Structure 1
Amino acid sequence: MEELEQFVFCLEAVKDIDTDEVTEIEKQLESLALHHGIPNIYKACDTIEGLEESLSALLYDDHNFKNYEIIYLVMEGENNNICIYNYYYSLDEIAELFEGKMKRKIIHFANTKTLELTNDQAQFFLDVTGAKAISGYGEKFNNLKSYQLDQVFFKLFQDNENIDEVVETLFEKNYALCKLLDFRLYY
């Protein structure tokens, strides 16, 4: 059986998509491709409509969509909300936006947003979107971004699709950072 390459699709909320400034996350994704061989696509959005358009383009225009196992969201926010251009959206609203479109995907948040969900909130998100899992971090530090740990997480999924084994390996190899950032996974 031929092994499918897993892709990462990253959506980053920025203040203005019309600037040509390369963001830190774009540099990290380039490193992910160069050093770990993981193909990825980066899109920036500055409105909820931009987020929706980017996802629709991925879903309906990209014939490799089935290969995108991880949807990587780099957005500000806390707990059950994300912030795009000073507007807050609940994860319930985001779930409805993604309704049924994330089958077998892992939605992963960088630690620019804390992820604090009850089991019911997580289950609602997974049920509505069809996602396999939602992951992120309980701690946000202005001077410590999760990008390096995110890359390790993505690389582990390239090698193993068993979510329990991936998380176990992530903690074995990066225990201090996983605990410091409070890595979380709901599935």
Structure 2
Amino acid sequence: MNRQIRTFLLCVIGLSLLSACSPSQQVEHKELSQEELNKLDPETRNILETDISELEVSVPETDQSEAEYQDSLNEEIAENRPVQEEFDIRVYRAESQGTMTGYIDKIDIISLNDLPTTITGIQVNRGHCAVTRMYDYHNMHYGSVALAYPRCKAENIREVSVRTADGSYAYRIQ
């Protein structure tokens, strides 16, 4: 049974390959007779009788060079990039069945930036609380959430500093 299915599939694949290689059926272009050409207006007749290789195509010149165009694009990107990036920080304790205590402390870093940003580092309590792991911190758009696991209790966290390529931002936790 299995061999029959395999043979059938090979036949189907072979037929599809053969049909893909066959020449396509193109529409035949009918040459216009002299009478039909005479019925056309002179401009259209001239276009039909002109060899394509004789046609000249002109490309309009631009006012900017390629370098000026790239510079203007870079200026637009720089203008759209916010000087200060913004994040919303949420520190909390969540239930976890994977730990001995039944809970785990977490830090959510929510991007409030329209343009994508990547977190390059995080510091909790000015470096006095280590971060074990961090997830989803690359290419963050508005509303994206990065998750960090601190080594200290959530209730003891007073400051979270977020570092990106554009700067470092400290957030006080109340």
Measured against the shorter chain, the TM-score band is: under 0.3
Select the structure that is richer in helix.
Answer: 1
Larger radius of gyration: 2
Q: Give the TM-score normalised by structure 2.
A: 0.22
TM-score normalized with structure 1 length = 0.21
Greater strand percent: which structure?
2
Tell which has more relative contact order, 1 or 2 (C-alpha 8 A, sep 6+).
Answer: 1
